[in-house]
Amino acid sequence: MEAATRRRAMPLLLVLVLLAAGVPAAFCVTNPQDASALNSLKNQWTNFPSSWSSATATDPCDGGWDGVMCSNGRVTSLRLSSVNIQGTLSNSIGQLSQLVFLDLSFNIGLGGTMPASIGSLSQLSILILIGCSFTGSIPQELGNLQQLSFLALNSNKFSGKIPATLGLLTNLNWLDLADNQLTGSIPISTANTPGLDFLTKTKHFHFNKNQLSGSLTGLFNSNMSLIHILFDSNQFTGPIPAELGGITSLQVLRLDRNGFAGAVPPNISNLVNLNELNLASNHLTGSLPDLSSMTKLNVVDLGNNSFAASVAPDWFTTLTSLTSLSIVSGQLIGEVPKGLFTLPQLQQVVLSKNSFNGTLEITGSINKQLQVINLMNNLIQTADVTSYNKTLVLVGNPVCNVPDFSRPSSCSVQQENMVAYSTSLSKCASTASCSNDQSVNPANCGCGYPYTGNMVFRAPFFTDLTNSATFQQLETSLTTQLSLRDGAVSLSSIQFNSDDYLQVQVKLFPSSGVTFSVPDLIRIGFSLSNQTYKPPANFGPYYFLADPYIPLAGASSGGSKKSQISTGAVAGIAVAGGLLVIALIAMVLFALRQKRRANEAVTGRTDPFATWGVSQKDSGGAPQLKGARNFPFSELRNCTNNFSDSHEIGSGGYGKVYKGTLVDGTRVAIKRAERGSMQGVTEFKNEIELLSRVHHRNLVSLIGFCYEQGEQMLVYEYISNGTLRENLLVRGTYLDWKKRLRIALGSARGLAYLHELADPPIIHRDVKSTNILLDDHLKAKVADFGLSKLVSDTQKGHVSTQVKGTLGYLDPEYYMTQQLSEKSDVYSFGVVMLELVSGRQPIESGKYIVREVRLAIDPNDRDYYGLRGLLDPAIRDSARTAGFRRFVQLAMRCVDESAASRPAMGEVVKEIEAMLQNEVSGADGASSAGSSANEFDGAGGGARAHPYSDTEITRGSCGDNASEYMPYFEVKPK
Ligand SMILES: *[C@@H]1O[C@H](CO)[C@@H](O)[C@H](O)[C@H]1NC(C)=O
Ligand SMILES: *[C@@H]1O[C@H](CO)[C@@H](O)[C@H](O)[C@H]1NC(C)=O
Ligand SMILES: *[C@@H]1O[C@H](CO)[C@@H](O)[C@H](O)[C@H]1NC(C)=O
């Protein structure tokens, strides 16, 4: 009887205990399978939220683990954006079989391959892994996720093909695979396989910035409900599919920077809801498309195609919603229709490199948002532009030669930059500055650790970056939708980047305290990764890439003691990492040295190229030289489209130069010796050997060579901005005095390196302005070592050899005595310096620049040093400076008749450095001295990452002072 009572009492006791512990516990105890899955995820991470190892929150579902949400003991949501997870994603993720939301975005330390077991999460509806470091291919098992509505894998390092099984995700609303390294074609269904043409509910196809190829024929159909198609920056070919015209919901169509060919299908005019149409930089032919029915169009770019010549189409003056019209190289003729400029919304017009002629009329009422009109390199003869006083570029038009043209400033490319918006901190002037990584919170002028990142708008409907109202709306939408305090957001560095995306640096500040809590980070991160946050409509599609949140970096657990340990661990890792780097550098140096010794030993006995040229099929005998790749002929042929004319960028000493893109995306310039004129075998070998040994930021690097099938080719890094000569010719005014000093300094450094640091020293022998190339940042790079000569070939510091070089640059002493020394390069460099001063070629109309300058110099002429008549008009104002005089004097010392009296290249470098230093501190004032000094210090310091760009103009303007180094346009060397 007693025993029975006890047995009955036990369960009651248990219930009472559970009730005492709180009701939720009874319902939220984590299912053991899910708990073990979470623990094994955690085991592969070296950094995770501190709550995941807290002693008081041992049960994940008990509300204790940040980012975990459960229903009936099953994990339904795992959201861990921006918490600095490091490690890989365990296969056991597949055990969380009730998972609906998975967001691990903005954990740059999270990578490895994506486990195929994700395909067993049959309830998953949202999968977001933006801005992590995942590699390998996208598992085809994703096709099993029938519930998936949102799939964002953008900004990782996924490679391989897009699995056709993604076509089975028929509930998908959002598909973003952008900014990865995906290859192959877009899967299109066949009788036996699915394809993305099945995705009729999907609104977003974001595949931009990959290496996808093939044709899109068959991908689109009128059952689709797409609103954004972003396929830009890939390698697609074939026609633009006519079926696109059936998707009338479309708002943004970006197919730019691909290889699309043929005519634009006429039914594209059915896309009456389109806001942005960008077809630039393809191979499109036929006539310009008729866009007159697309009355909502804001942004149109059709430039850099091969359209047939035509007059400006009617829609230039009828599309009243246009904000930006850009057609570079569009073969447009006749007059620019004056109605274009009175379009009510217009902000930017870029019609450079066309053949517009006659009169340019910008009259009548011009709206004040119109900020940029670029008509460079047209045939405009006269201009009436009185109604417009913002940026107008007419360089390269006959009107610039009219003596009394009323807007001479339009004939200079350098016009005042418009300053892009940034959040004002002026009311916080009393907050001196914040320590470490904290920033001033505009909401209260206090300091805090902001959550920062870049918001990238892939197709905004506007180009005007100066309009405060536009960006203040963005600020307000951020604070309200993300539940932040009023004003707790700061926008800066607003600019169009090289992909033509609008990029905005965003800082969000915590509402209280100086840091965000982990749950707040996860909440905000998810709002931005899952597109819950919506910017004002005119900003168009966006993505956000958060920076690691500083206060969490390296801290793996809560508690001050633990975080100290982890700080120590971080320091330890840093030290170990540092040692590793040092060890690696030492190893590389050692290996290089060993290799050089080996090479020297070989050179001593036999010519390493001895087998070359003896027979035609001996490419196998070509040595693999210090990092220079031996390219198969077929690879170079493929990447230049069989050496087509469109890839030709110039002709060098012994053949043509082509540009191409290697399979890995590297852009290269390929110098191909002409068939039948291979007399330069010696030069060829010479150049490979030299260039593969020589590495300096002011020297063009050799990437590899090809010696196969009777071909001789050299593969160099691609230098985007053409030769110094072309730049002086085409955009003299853009090259102001300071830029010229920098170019002189860069090339002098390259030469000084060859003379003084290369081992053995190298004499260039053909220094001239067409052998100095300029990159995106106008950094000078000395090219063409085909005639170089090793100084070790001689005993006495000069080399007796056949005279080579280029008329006008040739050292007279060398010419007469045939005794070559480094000083011959110094002479040629002096001539280049005089070119920088005069803008002229060394010999023009039978006059030799060295002689002309020597005769003209007049020390008593305070203004021009006697050189007024010889000066490049573009720098006339700089001639009054002391630096100018010093520069001319230095040039004259370089071209001294006697080699012994010329300075060494190293000395030239030092003098120009000093001039530039004066120029910067004198002319610019103290404020910018720091940054500028940094730039001319080289080391790539001032140069921001700015990939080579084929586009002629950077859209809009750039709000920071680095814009000076972004050329306004690109010269295509020809
Ligand atoms: C402008 O170009 C058109 C078409 O090439 C030509 O017919 C016309 O005569 C030119 N006008 C002037 C003023 O040169
Ligand atoms: C020119 O610009 C100034 C402001 O810089 C403005 O006040 C003025 O109205 C403009 N003139 C014309 C004709 O647009
Ligand atoms: C983002 O997530 C929420 C659930 O919290 C969902 O309702 C919403 O539809 C998602 N946003 C998009 C654009 O899918």
732 located within any domain: yes
Report residue 36 as tokens: 């073990």
pLDDT tens profile 283-342: 999 999 999 999 999 999 999 999 999 999 999 999 999 999 999 999 999 999 999 999
- Confidence (pLDDT) at 759: 75
Contact call for residues 297 and 272 (beta carbons, < 8 A) = no
Radius of gyration of the chain (CA): 32
Least confident range from 301-315, 373-387, 586-600, 721-735: namely 586-600
In terms of phi and psi (left: phi > 0; alpha: psi -120 to 50; beta: otherwise), the region of 846 is left
Is the domain of 42 the same as that of 115?
Answer: yes
| 530 CA from centroid of ligand 3 (Å) | 6
Which ligand sits nearest to residue 357's alpha carbon?
A: 1
Report CA 566 to chain centroid distance, whole Å: 35
Residues 701, 667: contact at Cβ < 8 Å? no
pLDDT beyond 80 at 411: yes
Atom nearest to 366 CA in ligand 2 = 14
Determine if ligand 3 sits within 6 Å of the CB of residue 532. Answer: yes
Does residue 458 contact residue 230 with C-beta atoms inside 8 Å? yes
Strand 489-496 versus strand 655-661 pairing type: unpaired
pLDDT band at 206; cut points 50, 70, 90: very high
Residues 845 and 915 reside in one and the same domain: yes
The residue among 183, 216, 231 that closes a domain is 183
In sequence order, the β-bridge partners of residue 206 are: 176, 230
Average pLDDT over residues 566-595: 41
On whether residue 159 sits in a domain, the answer given is yes
Same domain, 757 and 896: yes
| Residue 51 DSSP SS3 | helix
Asked, for residue 360, whether it belongs to a domain, the answer is no
Do 773 and 883 sit in the same domain of this protein? yes
Q: Which atom of ligand 1 is nearest to the CA of 359?
A: 13
Confidence of residue 902 (pLDDT cuts 50, 70, 90): very high
pTM, two decimal places: 0.60
Please indicate, yes or no, if residue 353 is contained in any of the structural domains: no
* pLDDT reading at 880 higher than 90: no
Q: Are 503 and 493 in contact (CB under 8 A)?
A: yes
Report the distance separating Cα 313 and Cα 138, nearest Å: 45
Contact (Cβ atoms closer than 8 angstroms) between residue 271 and residue 244: yes
Counting the structural domains of the chain, the total is: 5
Binding site membership of 357 for ligand 1 (Cβ less than 6 Å): yes
Query: What DSSP designation does 805 have?
Result: S
Q: Which of 389, 419, 466 to mutate to test the pocket of ligand 2 (most atoms within 8 A of CB)?
A: 389
Answer yes or no: do 648 and 667 share one domain. yes
CA of 958 to the centre of ligand 2 (A): 22
Rounded mean pLDDT, 462-472: 92
Tell me the one-letter amino acid at 181: Q
Q: Which residue has the higher pLDDT, 241 or 873?
A: 241
Q: Which protein residue has the closest C-alpha to ligand 3 atom 13?
A: 531
42 shares a domain with 144 = yes
pLDDT by residue (tens digit) across 623-651?
445 567 888 888 888 888 888 887 887 77
Q: Are residues 742 and 877 in the same domain?
A: yes
Two tokens, residue 446: 């206090």
For the purposes of burial, counting CB atoms within 10 Å of the CB of 62, is it exposed (0-12), middle (13-18) or buried (19 or more)? middle
Indicate the pairing of strand 110-113 with strand 133-135.
parallel
DSSP string, 64-103: ISTTEEEETTEEEEEE-TTS--EEE--GGGGG-TT--EEE
Pair 662, 742 in one domain: no
Residues 6+ apart with CB under 8 A from 201: 170, 171, 172, 173, 225
Q: Annotated catalytic, 34?
A: no
Amino acid at 9: A
Selecting among 232, 766, 784, 872, the annotated active-site residue is 766
> Which of 152-156, 615-619, 631-635, 703-707 is predicted least confidently?
615-619
125 and 58 inside one domain? yes
Question: Has residue 799 got a pLDDT over 80?
Answer: no
411 is a domain residue: no
Cα(248)–Cα(269) distance, rounded to whole angstroms?
A: 10
Amino acid found at 453: G
pLDDT in tens, 701-725: 888 888 877 777 888 888 888 889 8
The range of the structural domain enclosing residue 467 comes to: 438-553
| pLDDT confidence of residue 351 | 97
In this structure, the answer to whether residues 654 and 602 fall within a common structural domain is: no
The rounded percent of the chain whose pLDDT value lies above 90 is 49
Closest CA to 498 of 337, 794, 720: 720
Q: Is 73 close to ligand 1, i.e. is its CB under 6 Å away?
A: no
Characterize the bridge pairing of strands 276-278 and 299-301.
parallel
* φ, ψ of residue 927 in degrees (nearest 5): -60, -40
